Homo-oligomer: A and B are copies of this chain.
Amino acid sequence: MSISGPAARRGRPPATSPRELELIALHLFTENGFDETTVEQIAAEAGVSSRTFFRYFESKAAVLWHDFDREVDALCAAFGHVDDDLPMMDAIRETVVSVNHYRAEDVAELRTRMHLIGSVPALQASAAPHYDAWERAVSAFAGERLRQPSGALYPLAIGRTTLAACRAAFDLWVERADADLTVYLDEALRALASGFGT
């Protein structure tokens, strides 16, 4: 039996890590552009072959979605501890905002990553499965609250429109740099819950 921590591992030790590849890729993408950067360059920078890169990530673009996917996990977890008395759309807004508090030292990286995702067509194209998981987290919660299957019209629409509103907030936050991300998210989700009524 092994305690948690760097337990004794068996085989050949990894020559790199997902995190290292992510940082190298982020640097090269911002420096030279996504399309102009080859997987071979990223791998070489990490001292591995391009074949190894594809053992860590299933595509060149996937390297930028690592953190986003972890946020989806956090979102699912946060929906588990929601006050039952809170109205549904308020609960969604507060939960989404709560998992989007970032430490000051992480904001710069988040910004560059989201700027890339928002501006490079090849990266926008890679978004679908990740967005889908995020939406499903919200749809599942909405489905429970409404006592409907998560694939019914209301839960499905709530999941998708919630992400859509958040993406609008994200984009403005990346473009301007004048306020905290959570301020934008809160405003966008309040607008959604009000039906965009004036």
Q: Chain A residues in contact with chain B, CB under 8 A?
A: 88-89, 121, 124-129, 142, 146, 151-154, 156-158, 160-161, 163-165, 167-169, 171-172, 175, 184, 187-188, 191-198
* Contact between B88 and A196, CB atoms less than 8 A apart: yes
With the chains together, A175 CA to B161 CA distance in Å?
20
Q: Are B89 and A191 in contact (CB under 8 A)?
A: no
Most buried by B among A156, A161, A171: A161
Is the Cβ of B153 less than 8 Å from the Cβ of A191? Answer: yes
A128 closest partner in B (C-beta): B124
CA distance A62 to B195 in the complex (A): 34
- How far does the alpha carbon of A193 sit from the alpha carbon of B198 in the complex, in Å? 11
Task: Evaluate contact between B156 and A196: CB separation under 8 angstroms.
Answer: no
Q: Top 9 A-B pairs ranked by shortest CB distance?
A: A160-B164, A164-B164, A195-B195, A157-B168, A124-B128, A161-B161, A156-B168, A125-B125, A161-B164
A49 to B151, CA, bound (A): 43
> Which of B124, B157, B158, B191 contacts A157 (CB under 8 A)?
B191
Asked if A167 meets B172 with Cβ closer than 8 Å, knowing A121-B128, A193-B195, the reply is no
- A171: B residues at CB distance < 8 A: 156
In the bound complex, do residue A191 and residue B154 qualify as a contact, i.e. CB atoms below 8 Å apart? yes
- Smallest Cβ-Cβ distance to A142: which chain B residue: B196
A128 to B127, alpha carbons, bound, how many Å? 9
CB-CB < 8 A to A124: which residues of B?
Answer: 128-129
